[in-house]
Amino acid sequence: MLRKRVITVLTFNDGVLFRTKVFQPDYRYTLNFVDAWSVDEIVVLDITRPGAGKKENFFSVVSDFAERCFVPLTAGGGVRDIEDFRKLLCLGADKVAINYQALNRPEFISEAARLFGSQCVLVSIDTRENGSGNYEVYSEFGTRPTGLDPVSWAKKAQELGAGEIMITSIEKDGSLEGYDNRLNRLVADAVDIPVIACGGAGKWQDFVDGFLIGKVQAGATTNIYHFTENSIKSAKQYLKKSGVEVRG
């Protein structure tokens, strides 16, 4: 059985580390201590709105992280074509997260998988729950409804060559109230590739619930990891005591 992974997601607005809440930059950080953490993987995402910054600033972030960290690195945000995908890999990313372009042109998933391997392709799915209890996939920083349900889209992404899915509840983002494990379980049960839960984790029990109730292979969060450089170590100790097999 594969051990569960603990992942940190760091969001950058024009090259500056920000915390987000409901997909909006909420708090700017002047420092981060990611190189001191015993994290399993790192995901860095560019959340800069179109025309609001320089892409080169995020490229510098990716390059810097690739030089300093010794765990798998995923980079994404604003990936519009194969050259953007290739650029992030050349800067040192191990995987590339795609969202908008995968929705806009699903064959992009297959093209990237064919050129670089499925293991490099992470499809990020952002979703909201509607009033009737169903979920819908959103794009463009969680502002545009697509009419797709996340289960069908995750299955399609897998068929097209995605090697991993990251599912994020927009409403839960920054809430510290726990994952949406009904959503996570629906997606995890529908695909054979690893699923990462993101959005809402605020305490170590939320990771346990994500693994045991949501059935995901990895738990990711942003906000609570900023509070202390020992956060990941504490999380793993708690998970092990709760009977969850984790790395490290």
Domain ranges of the chain: 5-241
User: Is-contact 17 232, C-beta < 8 A?
Assistant: no
Which positions of the chain have pLDDT values less than 50?
27, 30, 33, 35-36, 227, 229-230
Three-class SS state of 1: coil
Q: Measured between alpha carbons, how far is 166 from 205 in angstroms, rounded to an integer?
A: 20
Count other C-beta atoms under 10 Å from residue 51's C-beta.
Answer: 5
For residue range 149-194, list pLDDT tens digits in order. Answer: 999 999 999 999 999 999 999 898 877 889 999 999 999 999 999 9
Q: Which residues contact 100 (CB under 8 A, 6 or more apart)?
A: 79, 80, 139, 140
Total-model pTM: 0.91
What's the pLDDT at 100? 94
pLDDT of residue 22: 58
- Encode burial over 17-28: b for 16+ CB neighbours within 10 A, e otherwise: bbbbeebebeee
DSSP H/E element including 116: helix 107-116
> 5-241 architecture in CATH?
Alpha-Beta Barrel (3.20)
- Please tell me the distance from the alpha carbon of residue 9 to that of residue 19, in angstroms, as a whole number: 10
For residue 173, the model assigns a pLDDT of 81
3-state secondary structure at position 41: strand
- In 3D space, the residue among 139, 68, 59, 126 whose CA is nearest the CA of residue 96 turns out to be 59
Residue entry with tokens 């097999």:
245
- pLDDT score for 248: 65
Q: Provide the pairing of β-strand 5-13 with 73-76.
A: unpaired
